[in-house]
Structure 1
Amino acid sequence: MPRPTSKQELLAASEANYKRLLDLIDSYSADEVNTEFAPGTLNRNIKDVLAHLHEWHLIMQGWYKTGMAGEKPAMPAEGYTWKTLPEFNREVWKKHKEMAYDVAKASFQQSHQQIQQIISSHTDKELFEKKRYKWTGSTSLGAYLISNTSSHYDWAFKLIKKGMK
């Protein structure tokens, strides 16, 4: 699927990859969804992946709220840089490691809808015009939303497929 360049394409890609991911997850039995992936991955099972996606939805919502209020959000988070993203993702994993699978799935589904609402509230120009918002720097709001939805869901799909082999 090509990278979205309009609101409708972004909504469609986000929803298609979301559905694809949930269909994959729903194809596993209750026992299988708790299966540990092979060593070497931070997110050790499907629950961890869903919790990771949910937390990144919350992070995106925080950036959005702060940025749209005219302030510069800490990206990816206070005390971290994009170069230290693996360390930050370890903190995300620690934060949610005790979360139950059902809670992680429901939280992911809810936060996905919240991100879809953000996308829906903007025009094509607001989403895809580079440098439109000071807080997004040289890129567009849409680029952040693509990274947080359709691209991230594709990453999760591939990780789960590989982990469940």
Structure 2
Amino acid sequence: MARPTTKIELIETAAAKFDKLWEIIDAIPQEIMEVPFDFSNDPKKKEAHWTRDKNLRDVLVHLFEWHELLLNWINSNTEGEEMPFLPHPYNWKTYGELNQEFWCRHQETKLESAKEMLKLSHNAVMELIEEFTDKQLFTKKYFDWTGTTTLGSYCVSATSSHYDWAIKKLRAHKKNVMIEMHA
């Protein structure tokens, strides 16, 4: 599916990917979900998130926290309070450390709470997107606080692109566990 370039595409793609994520979550048997994530045998999975996230909760709270970043950033800036997307002291070179902070923050969060938090934050993001026009979402430099990127691009990254990331991770986990069960 092509990256959204209109408000309608953004909303439809985000909703479809979110629904797909829940279909996958609901289809993975409990005994597979209870096995900790382990991608250490796959040399292609080198990025930090492959070792950081140990279970479904970790994936869901990661998505939730990126929704919160988006919501706080948009709300602050539209209310006249200048704020960068990533909180101080993080930047695009160190956002992996921010992701690790999110992971640490939620080690006591229960899976059911993570599910509810993500559903609520997704709905809040979708409602906020509705408030903007195509022009506001997809015109470069429409808002000075988006820099050279469109607001829509940030929204895509925090929704459908991130949901794709989660879907791939959950599918990879299921495949790993299935292989181990049949070995």
TM-score by length of 1: 0.95
Which segments of structure 1 move beyond 6 Å, counting only runs of 4 or more?
Answer: none
Q: Return the letter of the residue paired with 1:149.
A: T
Q: Matched residues, percent identical?
A: 39
Residue 159 of structure 1: CA displacement? Answer: 1.1
In structure 1, C-alpha distance between the alignment counterparts of 2:56 and 2:153, rounded to whole Å: 26
Say whether residues 1:45 and 2:50 are aligned partners.
no
Please name the residue that 1:136 is paired with. 146
In structure 2, C-alpha distance between the alignment counterparts of 1:74 and 1:138, rounded to whole Å: 13
Structure of larger gyration radius: 2
Query: What is the count of residue pairs matched by the alignment?
Result: 165
In structure 2, C-alpha distance between the alignment counterparts of 1:154 and 1:89, rounded to whole Å: 17
Contact 2:84 2:145 (C-alpha < 8 Å) held by counterparts = no
Residue 163 of structure 1: CA displacement? Answer: 2.2
Please name the residue that 2:7 is paired with. 7
Please name the residue that 2:88 is paired with. 78
Q: Return the letter of the residue paired with 2:71.
A: Q
Cα deviations by residue, 1:18-74 (Å, 9 ceiling, x for unpaired): 011110001123343332100552111111100110111111111111111233313
Q: Which moved more, 1:119-128 or 1:26-35?
A: 26-35
In structure 2, C-alpha distance between the alignment counterparts of 1:155 and 1:52, rounded to whole Å: 11
Residue 123 of structure 1: CA displacement? Answer: 1.1
Please name the residue that 2:73 is paired with. 63
Q: Return the letter of the residue paired with 2:21.
A: L
Residue 160 of structure 1: CA displacement? Answer: 1.4
Please name the residue that 1:21 is paired with. 21
Q: Return the letter of the residue paired with 1:14.
A: A
Residue 11 of structure 1: CA displacement? Answer: 0.4
